[in-house]
Amino acid sequence: MTKKHISFQLNGRPVDALVEPRELLVHVIREQLGLTGTHIGCETSHCGACTIDLNGDSVKACTVLAMQADGGDVMTVEGLADNGALHPLQEAFMQEHGLQCGFCTPGMLIRAYRFLKKNPNPSDEEIRTGMSGNLCRCTGYQNIIKAVKAAAEKMQSA
Partner 1 sequence: MSTSTEKLEREEKLEGIGCSRKRKEDPRFIQGKGNYVDDVKLPGTLFADIVRSPYAHARIKSINKDKALAVPGVHAVLTAADLKPLNLHWMPTLAGDVQAVLADEKVHFQYQEVAVVIADNRYIAADAVDLVEVEYEALPVLVDPHKAMDADAPILREDIKEKADDGKGAHKHPNHIFTWEVGDDEATTQAFNAADVVVTEKMYYPRVHPSPLETCGCVASFDKVKSHLTLYITSQAPHIVRTVVSLLSGIPESKVRVISPDIGGGFGNKVGVYPGYVTAIVASIVLGRPVKWIEDRMEHLSTTAWARDYHMTGALAADKEGRIKALRVNVLADHGAFNSHAQPTKWPAGLFSICTGSYDIPVAHAKVEGVYTNKAPGGVAYRCSFRVTEAVYVIERMMDILAQKLGIDKAEIRRRNFVKPEQFPYHTALGWELDSGDYPKALQKVLEAVDYDGLRREQQEKRARGELMGIGLVTFTEIVGAGPSKACDILGVGMFESAEIRVHPTGSVVARMGTLSTGQGHQTTYAQIIATELGLPSEDIQIEEGDTDTAPYGLGTYGSRSTPVGGAATAMAARKIRDKAARIAAHLLEVSADDLDWEVDRFKVKGVPGQEKTMKEVAWAAYNNVPDGMEMGLEATNYYDPPNFTYPFGAYLCVIDIDKCTGEAKVRRFYALDDCGTRINPMIIEGQIHGGLTEGFAVAMGQQMPFDEQGNLLGNTFMDYFIPTFVETPFWETDYTVTPSPHHPLGAKGVAESPHVGSIPCFTSAIVDAFSHLGVTHMDMPHNAYRVWRKIHELGLDKHE
143 binds partner 1 (CB under 8 A): yes
Give the bridge partners for 15, in sequence order: 8
First to last CA, the chain: 50
- Least distance in angstroms from the C-beta of 5 to partner 1: 18
What residues have CB less than 8 Å from 97, skipping those under 6 apart?
139, 143
123 binds partner 1 (CB under 8 A): no
Nearest to 11 by CA among 53, 61, 41: 53
Instruction: Give 137-151 as a DSSP string.
Output: SSS-SHHHHHHHHHH
Please give the Cα distance from 158 to 139 (Å, whole number). Answer: 28
Site string for partner 1, 86-105 (x = CB under 8 A): x---x--xxx-x-xxxxxxx
Which letter does DSSP use for residue 32 in this model?
Answer: I
Residue number, 71 or 147, with CB nearest to partner 1: 147
Residue number, 7 or 142, with CB nearest to partner 1: 142
Site string for partner 1, 40-79 (x = CB under 8 A): xxxxx-xx-x--------------------------xxx-
- Least distance in angstroms from the C-beta of 58 to partner 1: 14
Residue number, 74 or 80, with CB nearest to partner 1: 80
Which letter does DSSP use for residue 52 in this model?
Answer: E
How do the residues of the chain divide into helix, strand and coil, expressed in percent and rounded to 5? 40, 20, 40
- Least distance in angstroms from the C-beta of 37 to partner 1: 2
8 binds partner 1 (CB under 8 A): no
Binding site for partner 1 (CB under 8 A): 20, 22-23, 27, 30-31, 34-44, 46-47, 49, 76-78, 80-81, 86, 90, 93-95, 97, 99-106, 109, 127-129, 131-145
